[in-house]
Amino acid sequence: MACSHGGVYSVDPKMVRLDCSSSVNPLGAPGKAVRAIERSAGELAPMYPDPECRDLKKGLARYLGVNTDQIAVGNGAAEIIYWFARLFAKRRVVIPAPTFCEYELASQKAGAVVTFVPLAVDFALDADAVIASAKGVDALFLCNPNNPTGMLATRAIKKVIEDVDNTTKIMLDECFIELADRQETLLKLVDRHDNLVVLRSLTKSFGMAGLRAGYSVSSPALAGQLSSLKVPWNVNGLAQAAGVAALADRRHVAKARALVKKERAFLYERLNRLESLVPVRSDANYLLLRLKSGDSTHFRDRLMKKTGVLVRDCSTFTGMGSQHVRIAVKTHKENMMLVKALEEMDNGKAR
């Protein structure tokens, strides 16, 4: 299965009136981060950035309550997935499915064979099945809350981390956790498990996808191994300055989390009235819609053409089938536009 993503560039950008296909902080980037860019662009543009991202690491250490030597900073979390795969995806890798496709692609590019462990019909993670499949493998990827399904599986994931042999390297992707209802990060497990890398990003939580700044937290030894693969100046100066400013604004994330919770309930309630689809319960800033008939690529294209609203066709997620699209939870005004567009698609059948 080809790995692909949402976002306006996944289609003809000119046709998109509202992008509900990529799921980032509905409030956008914090004003403080935008102002930091505006203030420092003239000074930073001609300068090489700090190749070690020292100020950003200090800000992250304070934000997370960890030490700076536990942090690796990448050009987005995506870069760190590829470092991890190059280092550890030697022969065999286990990935629950469906999930974010870059784990699979990075592992395959590194030469590993991927075994998928299917999620249950209700998208729950089967910890025992993952533990059994992970026996003797080089690497395991986990995602909490999972993309595209949106559910937290913290207890099952904790069990997997605790029971899997510590010769298996584990990447736990928590890129969406700061916008999830329950703040159930397993970050602190890196102190007890030196085979664990927790992946995070400023992309989703601080609405900074275009700037490209992601990071991981692990033992200092693993952080050093990951960072050893970076090209010099991998994170540009404006992203570093904006990141430092954003991390000082925790209220921005808290505000977004409260908005997501309220607006997701609104979307769920309104979309549950439609005849043609069923919303799936989610703990995250996005939710799946199961189409009762037709396929998701066709649905996405028709919705775009008719209304200019772009949703994420989930048929490109391994193991997902062709019955689901994913929508981002946005501001109330934008969510209303999405509801109207989906009601229109429902062919006037909304109750």
Ligand X SMILES: Cc1ncc(COP(=O)(O)O)c(C=O)c1O
**Which residues here bind ligand X, judged by CB under 6 A?**
76-78, 100, 143, 147, 173, 175, 201, 203, 209, 214
Write down the least CB distance from residue 108 to ligand X, Å: 17
Instruction: Report whether 252 contacts 30 (CB < 8 A).
Output: yes
What residues contact 304, with CB distance under 8 A and at least 6 apart?
11, 15, 16, 310
Structure-block tokens of residue 203: 């992309």
**Residue 115 class from Cβ within 10 Å (0-12 exposed, 13-18 middle, 19+ buried)?**
middle
**Residue 182 class from Cβ within 10 Å (0-12 exposed, 13-18 middle, 19+ buried)?**
exposed
Write down the least CB distance from residue 154 to ligand X, Å: 15
Residue nearest to ligand X (CB): 76
How many Å apart are CA 172 and CA 117, to the nearest integer?
16
Nearer to ligand X, 5 or 158 (CB): 5
Nearer to ligand X, 96 or 214 (CB): 214
Nearer to ligand X, 270 or 326 (CB): 326
Write down the least CB distance from residue 45 to ligand X, Å: 22
Nearer to ligand X, 266 or 318 (CB): 318
How many Å apart are CA 306 and CA 247, to the nearest integer?
40
Write down the least CB distance from residue 171 to ligand X, Å: 10
Residues 229-268 as b/e (b if ≥16 CB within 10 A, e otherwise) read bbeeebbbbbbbbbbbbbbebeebbeebbebbbebbeebe
Q: Tokens 């999972």 map to which residue?
A: 146
Instruction: Report whether 179 contacts 200 (CB < 8 A).
Output: no
Nearer to ligand X, 98 or 279 (CB): 98
Nearer to ligand X, 64 or 78 (CB): 78
Write down the least CB distance from residue 104 to ligand X, Å: 12
Write down the least CB distance from residue 43 to ligand X, Å: 25
Nearer to ligand X, 106 or 338 (CB): 106
Write down the least CB distance from residue 109 to ligand X, Å: 16
